[in-house]
Amino acid sequence: MEVDGACLAEVGNKVMCVDVDPAKIELLNSGGVPIYEPGLTEMVRRNREAGRLLFTTDAKEGVNFGTIQFIAVGTPPDEDGSADLQYVLAVAESIAQHMTDFKIVVDKSTVPVGTGDKVAERIRQTLAKRGADLEFDVVSNPEFLKEGAAIGDFMKPDRIVVGTENPRSIEVMRELYAPFNRNHERLLFMDIRSAELTKYAANAMLATKISFMNELSNLAEILGADIEQVRIGIGSDPRIGFQFIYPGCGYGGSCFPKDVQALEKTALGVGYSPQLLTAVEAVNNRQKEVLFSKISQHFGGNVAGKTVALWGLAFKPNTDDMRAASSRTLMEALWEAGAKVRAFDPIAHEEAQRIYGDRDDLHICANADEALDGADVLAVVTEWIEFRSPDFADIRDKLKSPAIFDGRNLYDPQAVNRAGLAHYSIGRQPTQPN
Ligand SMILES: NC(=O)c1ccc[n+]([C@@H]2O[C@H](COP(=O)([O-])OP(=O)(O)OC[C@H]3O[C@@H](n4cnc5c(N)ncnc54)[C@H](O)[C@@H]3O)[C@@H](O)[C@H]2O)c1
């Protein structure tokens, strides 16, 4: 919400953001921003000071503020993995309770196909209860921004998908997005169901690429091949390309895991067995365990009493988001097996503290060096830029059992070995010091 609101205000719109969380609104109104996103704090401040960006907990005030009502609330997985629509439908209801004239209700949350109909139905029912005869249109406008690069993605989108066949809404949406559409046509109008499915299709495709490479990397290890050479070998084919084919210790975050799962549930709900999606998720869940098994094997199957230095807690660089992060799977497996963790992340340290609180087997460190103090081995889980070129000799001197578990294939195994450290990575043979 914060990114969309700030970017729409940045081009001159007046925007009011509504949230039910009073602490979040209070923070935003006092100049803070609840998430880490490069450039966001300054953008929010600039637009707040210009009077174009307002924050409130008052739904009525928000509904009366504008013709366009974006729904951008969470759609977390419910117990069976389907997208939980309660927050989306609660907003639809608030809009219908308070509206006094025509509204375009734009769904930006990632929602299953058919949600547009459910939102329209909830608005109709609520209006009927009020005895109010008011016009509205429901539009799907899925969000494609990437955390960590969200502002750039919003300001210069690859495409803007808008699901509506209503000529009035098409005109309003075209006008709203005109400032982001100057260089070439990026607006793609389609029917609402296709727009809803486009979002899931995009995330499922990206997740599939990652799981494909992870599957191949496990196979490469068994077959004695080097996945990094295979990656370059296939990426150079323009039909495949180099993007999103990095092997690693699994994908996480607030989108891929939940969206793949939700699409799978949508398919099952209409009697279709989505075999590929099920495999993409299963491969990823297994991949998140790979670092722990490598560490455990290194110690002959017993990590009890060991201390692991862990670099990178966020699910990817440039964010503090730890939802479904691979670091969590690793830490929790280590704790379960009786090991301790000394963790460092440039941004997500507070988030880790919030999630795990104080516990004896987790020490959150102030910098990467401190995480090495007293540790047996080092695991690198997130590819933050500051982890790319460390002083390997220094790492060797600090670790009791000098070995790096490189969950993102950041390092040249030979350079690590030359410094006197063992190197374990993804899809390659482990290599030992010369
Ligand atoms: N985070 C991303 O990078 C990203 C990218 C693309 C799409 N999306 C989609 O956007 C949606 C939002 O994601 P997020 O990460 O911002 O979620 P989030 O959980 O961080 O934030 C959701 C906010 O909605 C508020 N909320 C809940 N019910 C409300 C109500 N009735 N009225 C007003 N506010 C209410 C919550 O208090 C919370 O602050 C999801 O559907 C997600 O899949 C997110």
Residue pLDDT, tens place only, 36-50: 999 999 999 999 999
Is pLDDT of 401 > 90? Answer: yes
Name the nearest CA neighbour of 254 among 146, 390, 155, 119.
146
Q: Is 17 a catalytic residue?
A: no
Query: The tokens 């982001």 sit on which residue?
Result: 180
Q: Residue 79 in contact with residue 41, Cβ under 8 Å?
A: no
CA of 41 to the centre of ligand 1 (A): 18
Phi/psi of residue 168, nearest 5 degrees: -65, -45
Residue pLDDT, tens place only, 203-220: 999 999 999 999 999 999
Mutate-to-test residue for ligand 1 from 78, 143, 322, 323, highest number of ligand atoms within 8 A of CB: 143
Q: What's the token pair of residue 149?
A: 């690069």
Cα separation, 247 vs 93, whole angstroms: 44
- For the chain, the residue count is 434
> Where is 364: in which H helix or E strand?
strand 362-364
Is pLDDT of 342 > 90? Answer: yes
Residue pLDDT, tens place only, 307-320: 999 999 999 999 99
Q: At what angle do helices 275-287 and 192-223 cross, to 10 degrees?
A: 50
Give long-range contacts, CB 8 A cutoff, 24+ apart: 216-219. 216/247, 216/427, 217/247, 217/426, 217/427, 218/287, 218/290, 218/427
Ligand 1 atom nearest the C-alpha of 2 is: 16
Q: Is the CB of 110 under 6 A from ligand 1?
A: yes
pLDDT at 275: 98
| Average pLDDT rounded to a whole number, residues 63-80 | 96
> Band of the pLDDT at 146, cuts 50, 70, 90?
very high
Cα separation, 234 vs 96, whole angstroms: 52
Q: Are strands 53-56 and 15-18 parallel, antiparallel or unpaired?
A: parallel
Cα separation, 110 vs 61, whole angstroms: 25
C-alpha of 168 from chain center: 33
> Band of the pLDDT at 1, cuts 50, 70, 90?
confident
Q: Is the CB of 69 under 6 A from ligand 1?
A: no
